[in-house]
Structure 1
Amino acid sequence: MTRLAFYGSSLLSSYWNGAATYYRGLLRALAQLGYDITFYEPDAMDRSRHRDMEEPDWARVVVYEATREGQRAAAAEAALADIVVKASGTGYEDDRLLRLVMDAARPGALRIFWDVDAPATLAHLARTPDAPLARLLAGLDVVLTYGGGDAVVSAYERLGAPACVPIYNALDPDTHFPVPPDPRFAADLAFLGNRLPDRDARVEEFFFGPARRRPELTFLLGGAGWADVDLPPNVRWIGHVPTADHNAFHGTPRMVLNIAREDMARTGFSPATRVFEATGAGGCLVTDAWEGIEMFFEPGREVLVAGDGAALCDILDDTPTHRNSGLRAAAHRRVLADHTYADRARKVHAILHARALTPESA
């Protein structure tokens, strides 16, 4: 069985960790294809106190101290693996971890950088051309990304990566599925997202602005970091929403909103996890406009797309209950047919197979 060492933000906690369900879905599906997975995560950003998952039976999890010594000890274990993956945004000295992990990888091991925030990473490389990642790209076997389309692929290859392949978000139908409505999450429109600097303006445009223009409607906000924001009176903030509540959060409101971060909207082709999880939970999804959405869902038949806050208000005004139900059903069928983590894992497996690293049991 091929051993895969994965260094990421967290598998056990979704707290300040939007990639959690992406990691869980993909790695679980890869384990089912025969990979022996160890996930290494730092005890950083208070995630350990907000765990919403126990260690699974399909991966070993090593939580290391967010200190240089703890990081060094965890990185040294890369020498035991056949495939070594360093993901972006772990939360503690990422550049140093990348160097330590790749230095520790044994000769012949496959070396992968997995970028879960390619627009931000590429912007950083443009500002800092001598960054450790830029120097190491040519020595990697492949860069895998959370999304980004041709623009991200071309950018990484120009920087020296031997190959770059997007592995998009998807749905794990065993964890995200329709459940009965929960009155805790009743609203006309709900949005789930942590507060981030490059999301503030878009949240104002697509969520707070429409809330002010439609005071008779109810708006629900989930996620961390919104405590000091002056919310409209019809917006109810409920704080961090653990993954166990995501299905009800997405499926209960009349509509659920996706808002891309500024850099992801600009780059395009980077659908957030909630796009697939919300539709998998039977939600009626409204998303801000971003390039490439037609690759994943059909606008107007499976999801609704708003170009600005005024268009979002029109959608709230003009979507009757019977159309809402039809959108939910159509999107749910599409996500199950075309966008599951089993599909994505088969693509990753094919990439590894092409590099002659196929699990013995696969």
Structure 2
Amino acid sequence: MTGRSRMRLVVLGLSLSSSWGNGHATTYRALLRAFAARGHDVLFLERDVPWYAPHRDLPDPDFCRLVLYPDLAALDSWRAEIARADAVVVGSYVPQGVAVGEMVQEVARGATAFYDIDTPVTLAKLERGDEEYLSPAIIPGYDVYLSFTGGPTLERLERVYGSPAARQLYCSVDPEAYRPMDVPPRWDLSYLGTYSPDRQPALERLLLEPARRAPEMRFAVAGPQYPADIAWPANVERIEHLPPGEHAAFYTASRFTLNVTRADMIRAGYSPSVRLFEAGACGTPIISDIWDGIGTLLTPGEEILLAETPDAVLAALREMPEARRRAMSKALRGRVLGEHSAAHRAAELEMHLREAIGRRGRARRLAAAVGS
């Protein structure tokens, strides 16, 4: 490495091996592949849970070591690795995440970070007293809180919850995995995402109702866990699970794709979904619901379309000239590759971790000086 020392990073995350029913795996894959490409060593410790076992689409990554551990007690055998790492990251939704975080904070000699891929959901849970994977008590013990949400939430994490440093670390995209494909057009509007009750009203309003009103058009919804009682219009194709290797072809086969956002993330704002960047890297124009901060990521009307009603969606599908749609595709892809690639995000991660390492080192030196 030139000008940088090699970093030993340990990550304890929800999943790297399986993308089934979660957005964490593809996020970690893009970020850690790019982080490793910067010359760093990465160990990923993943809880071996039965619901991911049949769906492991990356059992042996080539950019890091992946270890599946059966239970909390089994993490004891990795204490030495955690202790000597330059930085240790614990992710949101890790099973028994509070106990995992307590162990990491006790053992790690390097910097510790909490990586929240679900920040608004996490904070809503904490307000309800739900400490499934994070508690207010352990937040100040993490040297840095890496948040999928930016904007005012960062100040709240520091002021209300006592984080020493809350830093924005948005999701990103791997341009090698997400790029335009040579496939025939198949759908006028698509959506890719796991079922969520608080996203379903927006999906109903911005895709299913337009489909009912435009029977001559073709639509698709891909993703698992949708209830059996949903009344899908005849022109909406359902795809139960789409492995990451097929995402790019899915997006490229769509004239437009839809982005809808969970209610907690709409309230917080500044919480982009990874589908914005993945579809954008494929050059597929996006129709999105509206939330604070979206204009800081992509320019409305030029790089993304915003819609609140079925009429607005149908106007885009029926009235946008093809030349403008192609211009939007080009502008969107250029913005995503220029600002939101995994390489950009890996550089930000390295910067945040090195700053945390530096702060920890200064604190130790000050404590030693006071004690001498």
> Tell me, what secondary structure is at the counterpart of 1:149?
coil
1:78 lines up with 2:79 in the alignment: no
Task: Return the letter of the residue paired with 1:95.
Answer: V
1:231 equivalent in structure 2 = 232
The 8 Å contact of residues 125 and 131 in structure 2, kept in 1 or not, is answered as: no
1:249 equivalent in structure 2 = 250
The 8 Å contact of residues 104 and 112 in structure 2, kept in 1 or not, is answered as: no
Give the TM-score normalised by the residue count of structure 2.
0.88
The 8 Å contact of residues 182 and 248 in structure 1, kept in 2 or not, is answered as: no
Offset at 1:76?
Answer: 7.0
Pair 1:333–1:303, CA change in 2 (3 A):
same
Pair 1:159–1:356, CA change in 2 (3 A):
closer
The 8 Å contact of residues 122 and 155 in structure 1, kept in 2 or not, is answered as: no
Structure-to-structure mapping, 1:33-182, within 5 angstroms: 33-44=38-49, 46-65=51-70, 67-70=71-74, 73=77, 77-90=81-94, 92-105=95-108, 108-128=109-129, 133-146=135-148, 148-157=149-158, 158-182=160-184
Aligned mates of 1:335, 1:54 — CA distance in 2: 28
1:216 lines up with 2:216 in the alignment: yes
The 8 Å contact of residues 86 and 357 in structure 2, kept in 1 or not, is answered as: no
Give the TM-score normalised by the residue count of structure 1.
0.91
Offset at 1:182?
Answer: 4.9
Aligned mates of 2:292, 2:96 — CA distance in 1: 32
Task: Return the letter of the residue paired with 1:294.
Answer: G
Aligned mates of 1:330, 1:54 — CA distance in 2: 35
Aligned mates of 1:182, 1:95 — CA distance in 2: 48
Aligned mates of 1:350, 1:205 — CA distance in 2: 41
1:333 lines up with 2:347 in the alignment: no
> Tell me, what secondary structure is at the counterpart of 1:86?
strand
Aligned mates of 2:357, 2:103 — CA distance in 1: 25
Q: Could you list the runs of 5+ residues in structure 1 that have no partner in the other structure?
A: none
Q: Deviations over 1:9-39 (max 9, x none)?
A: 1112211121222211111121122221001
Q: Could you list the runs of 5+ residues in structure 2 that have no partner in the other structure?
A: 1-5, 360-372
Task: Return the letter of the residue paired with 2:101.
Answer: L
Aligned mates of 2:49, 2:200 — CA distance in 1: 24
Q: Deviations over 1:134-185 (max 9, x none)?
A: 1011122110011x222210221121101101111222112111111156xx
The 8 Å contact of residues 77 and 104 in structure 1, kept in 2 or not, is answered as: no
Aligned mates of 2:319, 2:184 — CA distance in 1: 24
Offset at 1:68?
Answer: 4.1
Structure-to-structure mapping, 1:196-215, within 5 angstroms: 196-215=196-215
Q: Deviations over 1:61-99 (max 9, x none)?
A: 00122x343455556752342211100013x23333222
**Percent same amino acid at aligned positions?**
36
Pair 1:58–1:278, CA change in 2 (3 A):
same
Aligned mates of 1:265, 1:237 — CA distance in 2: 26
Instruction: Report how many residues are paired.
Output: 351
Aligned mates of 1:142, 1:274 — CA distance in 2: 26
Aligned mates of 1:343, 1:282 — CA distance in 2: 19
Task: Return the letter of the residue paired with 1:277.
Answer: E
Between stretches 121-130 and 196-205, larger displacement belongs to 121-130
The 8 Å contact of residues 98 and 131 in structure 2, kept in 1 or not, is answered as: no
Offset at 1:133?
Answer: 2.3
Pair 1:75–1:125, CA change in 2 (3 A):
farther
Q: Deviations over 1:170-221 (max 9, x none)?
A: 22112111111156xx111100000012212222222222222222221101
RMSD: 2.1
Aligned mates of 2:242, 2:280 — CA distance in 1: 17
Aligned mates of 1:169, 1:138 — CA distance in 2: 23
> Tell me, what secondary structure is at the counterpart of 1:188?
strand
Offset at 1:317?
Answer: 2.1
